[in-house]
Amino acid sequence: MTDPLSPIFSALADPTRRAILGMLLEDDMAVTDVAEPFAMSLAAISKHLQVLADAGLISREKRGRVIWCKLEPDAMRTASVWMQGFGQFEPVDLDALERFLETELRDVAPAPPDQGTSEVD
């Protein structure tokens, strides 16, 4: 018996992956565009994208020489249905989820690199 929920919740446990999902709420994105706001290597972002893809939260498609990422909301619905089984959770309102993620992402957005400042002794 396969457990589809563990990879989903494991993927959602990381703030970088949650930020990526928030970005993909807007539209499909090229991998390089996904990586742009993060202070990490393209290889590190690719690993995060692999975890999200393995969980079914995103899909990737090669268009020409560019790999595009797309949000796959069905996996999130699977987790939502599971949580609703406890009777304490309201159905997931995807618009409210988007607003929540936008608020959270503002709080965890990577700081821009420090440019033009230097210490003077």
Per residue in 69-88, pLDDT tens?
Answer: 999 988 888 888 888 777 66
d(CA 22, CA 29): 12
Handedness of CA 31, 67, 11, 24 (dihedral sign): positive
Q: How high is the pLDDT of residue 2?
A: 74
Residues linked to residue 58 through DSSP beta bridges, in sequence order = 71
> Does the 5-98 domain belong in CATH 1.10.3720.10?
no
**Tens-place pLDDT, residues 45-68:** 999 999 999 999 999 999 999 999
Q: How high is the pLDDT of residue 75?
A: 84
Predicted TM-score (pTM) above 0.85: no
Q: Which amino acid is at 14?
A: D
The residue extents of the domains of the chain are: 5-98
